[in-house]
Structure 1
Amino acid sequence: MTASPLITDLFDAQVARVPHRTALRDRHGSLSYAETAHRAESLAARLRAACPRPGARIGLHLARTSEVVVAMIAVLRAGHTYVPLDPGYPPERLRFMASDAELSLLLSDQPVPELLAELPLLRTDLPDTTPPPATSARSAGRVDPGSPAYVIYTSGSTGTPKGVQVPHRNVVALVRACARRYQLLDGDVWTMFHSPCFDFSVWEIWGALLHGATLVVVDREVAASPRQTLDLLVREQVTVLNVVPSVFRHLVRAAARLEQPPALRYVIFGGESIDVRDVRAWRAHFGGGTRFVNTYGITEATVFVTYRLLTDRELDRAPDPVRDPAFALDIGEPLDGWQVEVLDEDGKPVQPGEVGEIHVAGAGVALGYLNRPELTAERFVRTTPAGADSSADTGTGTGTGTGTGARIRYRSGDLARLTTDGVYCYAGRADDQVKINGFRIELGEVESVLLGAPGVGELVVVRTVSRVGEPMMTVFFTAAAPQTTHPDPADALAAFARARLPVHMVPGRFVRLPELPVNPSGKTDRKALAALPAAPAPSR
């Protein structure tokens, strides 16, 4: 069997094939494939000089421009692992991620928060005053395809974020598997619409660059504005857009103002369940030239697990209150190399009408959680099929099994229901994890942070629905003592949250109650809280 290449091997192949084609574009300008490779190699040389031994974890504290992608390529060229640190995150969260990842070096294009000041720092926005290395030690950075390419942090149920380690081979497998499902062209124009801390960006970046396409890096302000996003789609003639359904809904609402339709060939949904009404509204306005794909994915299984093309026949039929919900929740079929099982509590496949937990195996399963061996063992379950020799497997309990017959199966915590037609439909979470705007968030983590706010007594975070039908988080809390000071305790708690949580984890509503309701077992009655009148739509 041919060994899997590195991500940079496939990128170099595109550099050799289309050196003058535009690889990256942002508000500052564009870079060809050859220029991108040259910049990345120059930065990689500086990284090798600073961290000669391959395998270091390098933090990327960089604005959302083409340079963040150049830095990723440079880190991988140098044989290291990149760890995105979004400058928009609160300093305390960045400090935790940097400390937990045991970063060897921090790359930044701006002054860093004081909490990161002790880390070795390489400023990419300042002139390089270090002497060039005596030799080009490019070969010294060569690593195994099973080595981690990146670490992305996801929300943690204990209040502690957890870093997911994903190797080169998984990303290569993802790109190749999707290439067999999508009719992708090297003349396509993609967007990097998401933060590099969100795993959707992994597909956006490498899906574009490893196909020889152009990647438009969208800055934070444009991505936050539906009107500016639509203008960018038209101006840049974007053909491949990856987006979470709740964001797409806002694009649909703003689309009426466009004088010409976008050139989109694909809209790829991920992160949460779709609303077919939004897709139909887009088609009613712009016609049927865009293909819509629904996906199910997990950071721990390398972005995407399944593929589900929404067909013209399904989208053009009259709305059906019975068929449409199941159609929208259909998670589709696994990508080539990925395996999906939906198992009941006894570990057996569910029967039609039953709900079970989604387990994922195969090419996308990550190496496990960084520095969390117990949690890794709990969620990345080693299995040996009947008749296989488990003693031949010398793996460490993470990643895909390396021995005879053994494999790793990731327990997702997501639920699916098997229909009588043999379709698996997403059925929610098995724990307190929720998805808001495509981000997977543990309610327990948000609670643990907010319980540290002064003056708070009891507090719970509940998944609720806004008046426009969007999922949101609502905080219900009591005061530790009678409130006699200003500002309003709900406003104070909201300010506390904004100072300590990434923007996507800040709840949309804060409600003070005299006491929290309890159920017959004496626990806080979350269902009763969730059933309270819908909250106003959060401001955007």
Structure 2
Amino acid sequence: AYPREATIHGLFEAQVEKTPGAVAVVYGDQQLTYAELNAQANQLAWTLRGHGVGPERIVAILMERSLEMVVGMLGILKAGGAYVPIDPDYPAERIAYTLRDSGAEWLVTNRAAELRTPALPFAGCRVYAGESVPEQTGNPPQTATPEQLAYVIYTSGTTGKPKGTMITHRNVVRLLFNDRMAFDFNERDVWTLFHSYCFDFSVWEMYGALLYGGKLVVVPLMTARDPEQMVRLLRQERVTVLNQTPSAFYALSQREMEEADAELCVRTVIFGGEALAPGRLRSWQRKYPDTDLINMYGITETTVHVTYKKLGEAEITSGISNIGKPLPTLRAYILGDGQQLQPVGVAGELCIAGEGLARGYLNNPELTAEKFVDNPFEPGARMYRTGDLARWLPDGNLEYLGRIDHQVKIRGYRIECGEIEARLLAHASIREAVVLAREDEQGQAYLCAYYVSDEVVAVPELRSHLAGQLPDYMIPSYFVELEQLPLSTNGKVDRKALPVPEAAQTGSVYEAPGTPAQLQLVEIWQDVLGAEQVGIHDNFFMLGGDSIKAIRLVSRINRDLDVTLP
């Protein structure tokens, strides 16, 4: 059960009545109480209504991190409209596409954001937050209903064009308020708005704070990117609820472990956005044993979060990405070919049904029909095909296995890169790891592992570590050590920014050919492998060789050396 007739801004207004004088939002040395935030949002809402904004009308918001950004989103909701967040740092082409595709006729911005986007192609009505009519501060009459749009968030699409996911008030309300809530959020909590408001994790952060009477600390962009500054902010603001992508948290945790004291007030850390390596939480767990570590899986199309798992000693030791069980109002299915239910332990596509499902994709009925399909187990209902791989564990929890489109074929074998990553992370010295499939000049696929380590680890040691657990075709041809993994603006690993490996690392000491026969063989190897240098002790497969290249190699040796190898 949940308040089915409530709207996001209606719940906020109810909280304003309870705690009007409490601090609602903080940015640097600026702050607003609940009453002040409500009044400023109301001023904007009345202005927007005067310009024709109402239910099902889309309003773009272009704002840097600030108090005005929060005012802007609440003001649009109070006007009855739905907001489309746009980051001023986005490329001009993406900003233009979002404005064009969303069909927004209004743009809420401020002078600072406008200066950063001087060539903004927008012919509609511009409304400047903070410059609204001051005398109208009362709550506007509610016009939006729970089933109407609250926001549209654009995410990357496989076609190369972003797609706008349409979320209703009811989608959000049932996530934060139901009679089986696993969290005990309250007015004493201090939250960080760490993520970009273009990433739906921010929806959880913003409304989790403001609809429960907590304080929301808007994290400056440079602070969010700097673990040292972020640790300082957590201490100064006495933050109690912290939401992080795993990649961002690993760097934050490492910096916090350098502090001698244990003065953080964080009572709950909530992970989401990408696969978690539980073993990386060990040091935090030891320093802050009373902090609840919660792993949540979610996607924009199912309204932020889908599952919940509180991590204990068993989960941290296991090293698997245990994402737990579906949240109230949602159901999960693991399906194989032909939409057949998969048994426990067998991987399949994770599909989600229930009241968190988005309405669909804005102006994209074909993609909506492809991803939001009829639920074969519940007539008349829909389910969302996530494109993620998972499997049921014997205890009824789910294990996340990665993206289906991260499956690759190497030497004819289908491989889950996430499995290799998990094995690398089981090494005591490896802190972070990502495995990609790349193609060489001949178009042949090979595996490349990128890792961040606490100490120098020899490549042969890593190969030996993996060889004890994985077949040879799953051993990466390349190992690239990085000081840190590149992150996107949403705090996820930016796979496109990972460097192309310059040379395979075999771990063997180079020894040049010493005989005419060795010289001939080395030249053939270099040609077949596309390698600049091959030593007489190098391993063919460690240099990126595979079964197809091996056939080519044998053919060349037979022809050029006039021998007959099988």
Same fold per superposition (TM over 0.5)? yes
* Distance apart, 1:10 and its partner CA: 0.4
Q: Could you tell me how far apart the structure 1 residues matched to 2:215 and 2:444 are?
A: 45
- Structure 1 Cα separation of the partners of residues 396 and 288 of structure 2: 31
Partner residue of 1:70? Answer: 71
Question: What is the one-letter code of the residue matched to 1:268?
Answer: I
| 1:182–1:531 distance in 2 versus 1, CA, 3 Å | farther
Q: CA deviation at 1:304?
A: 0.4
In structure 2, the residue matched to 1:413 is 387
- Work out the CA distance in 1 between the residues paired with 2:43 and 2:171: 26
Deviation at 1:117, TM superposition (A): 3.6
Structure 2 CA distance, aligned partners of 1:90 and 1:461?
32
Count of residues in correspondence between the two structures: 447
Classify the secondary structure of the residue corresponding to 1:11: helix
Contact 1:368 1:376 in 2 (8 A): yes
1:108-147 superposed matches below 5 A: 108-109=109-110, 110-111=113-114, 113-122=117-126, 124=128, 127-128=131-132, 138-139=140-141, 142-147=143-148
Structure 1 residues 236 and 7: alpha-carbon distance in aligned structure 2, compared to 1, 3 A threshold: same
Indicate the SS of the match to 1:352: coil
Rounded to whole Å, the distance in 1 between the matches of 2:397 and 2:53 is 51
Give yes or no for the alignment of 1:509 onto 2:509.
no
1:374 aligns with 2:349: no
Does structure 2 conserve the Cα–Cα contact (< 8 Å) formed by 1:344 and 1:356?
yes
Q: Tell me, what secondary structure is at the counterpart of 1:466? A: strand
Matched residue, 1:269:
271
TM-score by length of 2: 0.71
Q: Distance in 2 between matches of 1:232 and 1:253?
A: 16
CA distance in 1, matches of 2:29, 2:191: 17
SS at match of 1:507: helix
Letter in 1 for 2:387: G
CA–CA separation in structure 1 for the residues paired with 2:123 and 2:107? 7
8 Å CA contact retained: 2:24, 2:210? yes
Which of 349, 352, 357 is the equivalent residue of 1:357? 349
Q: Determine if contact 1:205/1:215 at 8 Å carries over to the other structure.
A: yes
Q: In 1, distance between residues paired with 2:208 and 2:283?
A: 28
Q: How much does 1:96 deviate?
A: 0.8
Q: Quote the Cα distance in structure 1 between the aligned partners of 2:543 and 2:203.
A: 34
Alpha-carbon distance change, 515 to 56 in structure 1, aligned in 2, over 3 angstroms:
farther
CA 74–67 in structure 1, closer or farther in 2 if over 3 Å, else same: same
Matched, 1:192 2:181: no
Q: What secondary structure sits across from 1:64 in the alignment?
A: coil
Query: What is the distance in 2 between the residues matched to 1:174 and 1:75?
Result: 21
Cα distance in 1 for residues equivalent to 2:30 and 2:130 = 19
Q: CA 1:459–1:299 in structure 2 vs 1: closer, same or farther (change >3 Å)?
A: farther
Shift of 1:279: 1.5
Deviation of 1:176 (Å): 1.1
Answer whether contact 1:89 1:501 (CA < 8 A) is retained. Answer: no
Greater Cα shift, 25-34 or 422-431: 422-431
Q: How does 1:389-428 map to 2 (within 5 A)?
A: 405-428=379-402
Q: 4+ residue runs of structure 1 moved beyond 6 angstroms?
A: 130-133, 433-436, 457-463, 500-504, 512-518, 528-532
Aligned 8 A contact 2:353 2:382 in 1: yes
Checking the alignment, whether the CA contact within 8 Å between 2:201 and 2:304 is kept in structure 1 is yes
Measure how far apart 1:419 and its partner are.
3.4
Corresponding residue for residue 256 of structure 1: 257
SS of aligned partner of 1:361: strand
Residue type of the alignment partner of 1:335? L
For the 8 Å contact 1:369–1:376, the answer to whether it is kept is yes
CA contact (8 A) 2:294 2:310 kept: yes
Task: After TM superposition, list the pairs within 5 Å mapping 1:278-297 onto structure 2.
Answer: 278-284=280-286, 286-297=287-298
Aligned position for 1:314: 314
Assess if the C-alpha contact under 8 Å between 1:89 and 1:502 holds in 2.
Answer: no
Structure 1 portions without partners, runs of 5+? 387-404, 437-442, 448-456, 471-497, 519-527, 533-540
Contact kept, 8 Å, 1:95 with 1:115, in 2: the verdict is: no
Q: Is the 8 Å Cα contact of residues 462 and 530 (structure 1) preserved in structure 2?
A: no
State the Cα deviation string for residues 488-537 of structure 1 (Å, max 9, x = none): xxxxxxxxxx9x9999758323439999999xxxxxxxxx99979xxxxx
| 189-198 vs 271-280, greater mean Cα deviation | 271-280
The counterpart of 2:319, out of the listed 299, 314, 325, is 325
Match for 1:280: what amino acid?
R
Whether the 8 Å contact between 1:88 and 1:502 is mirrored in structure 2 is no
Distance 1:274 1:104 in 2: 40
The letter for the 1-side match of 2:75 is A
8 Å CA contact 2:242–2:266 kept in 1: the answer is: yes
1:526-537 alignment, distance < 5 Å: none
Q: Hey, what's the Cα distance between the residues in 2 that align with 1:163 and 1:295?
A: 23
1:481 match: none
Q: Percent identity?
A: 36
Say if 2:48 and 2:76, in contact at 8 Å, map to a contact too.
Answer: yes
Amino acid at match of 1:113: T
Q: Identify if the C-alpha distance between structure 1 residues 460 and 107 changes in structure 2 by more than 3 Å, giving closer, same or farther.
A: farther
Question: Would the aligned equivalents of 2:106 and 2:127 in 1 still touch at CA under 8 Å?
Answer: no
Name the SS of the counterpart of 1:426 in structure 2. strand
Q: How far did 1:417 drift?
A: 2.0
Distance in 1 of aligned mates of 2:220 and 2:193: 9
SS across alignment from 2:164: strand
Q: Which amino acid aligns with 1:240?
A: V
Displacement after TM superposition at 1:158 (Å) = 0.9
Partner of 1:35: 36
Corresponding letter in the other structure for 1:119? A
Would the alpha carbon gap of residues 511 and 279 (structure 1) be closer, same or farther in structure 2, given more than 3 Å must change?
A: closer
Deviation of 1:287 (Å): 3.0
C-alpha contact (below 8 Å) 2:257/2:284 kept by paired residues:
no
Partners of 1:461 and 1:215 lie apart in 2 by 47
> Are residue 336 (structure 1) and residue 332 (structure 2) matched?
no
- Equivalent residues of 1:170, 1:364 under 8 A apart: yes
Higher relative contact order (CA 8 A, sep 6+): 1
Question: How far did residue 331 of structure 1 move?
Answer: 1.5
Partner of 2:174 in structure 1? 173
> Does residue 449 of structure 2 align to residue 468 of structure 1?
no
Aligned equivalents of 1:257, 1:204: Cα separation in 2 = 27
